[in-house]
Amino acid sequence: MKVVFLDRDGVINKFPGNGLYVTKVGDFHFIPRSLEALKRLTDAGYYIFVVSNQAGVGKGVFSQQKLDQITAHMLKHVEAKGAMIDKVFYCTCKSSDACNCRKPRIGNIVEALESIDHTIDDARNAYFVGDTEGDVKAGQNAGCKTIFALSGREDLKYMQRWDVRPDYIVKDLYEATELILKEDTHPSRDSWSRPPQSR
């Protein structure tokens, strides 16, 4: 199945720092080659979903309106590159909230799959690219292949404390994309790709 789930901060754009948030458009800076990676995934027929925790909204650090502006800015630059993110799923809840969408829970992953008429059972051939233990856990909880990118919050030293291990470790989203496209040799996946005419 040609589906890739991406965390946002630390994968697509530069991680703002521990305890900090991207609170306005001016704080959003694409990681080098992330736009090129998105273009390559788009051209290969992948559905691309962003699944991101943005608790700063729930905490009142920044507003939903600011988050919407940041998203619009991101999508504008992605589309200008000739790439496409199919949908962005945010959890704006605080960690103390009893929601099902905050990673490592998989509510947003389930919703993304349902939006393309698939179920969580279809996630076994999907990829989840993230920069934290929570991302890897979310991907594993959904049954995805997990890719840990070293371009964000956590590094290999930090990973030694984890109780999970990703399937792959890469430098950044571009390297993750190269890995995904290299593995994309299963003929049955073509029937799961995004229809070209809807690009």
Please identify which of the residues 9, 131, 135, 172 carries the catalytic annotation.
9
Question: CA angle, corner 103, sides to 50 and 130, nearest 5?
Answer: 50
| Amino acid residing at 187 | P
Could you say which of 7, 131, 135, 172 is catalytic?
7
Instruction: Count CB neighbours of 27 within 10 A.
Output: 16
Indicate if 167 belongs to the active site.
no
Distances in Å between the Cα of 122 and the Cα atoms of 6, 143, 164 are: 17, 9, 22
Would you call 7 a catalytic residue per the annotation?
yes
**DSSP, residue by residue, 100-150:** SSSTTS-HHHHHHHHHTT--GGGGGG-EEEESSHHHHHHHHHHT-EEEEET
Residues annotated as part of the active site:
7, 9
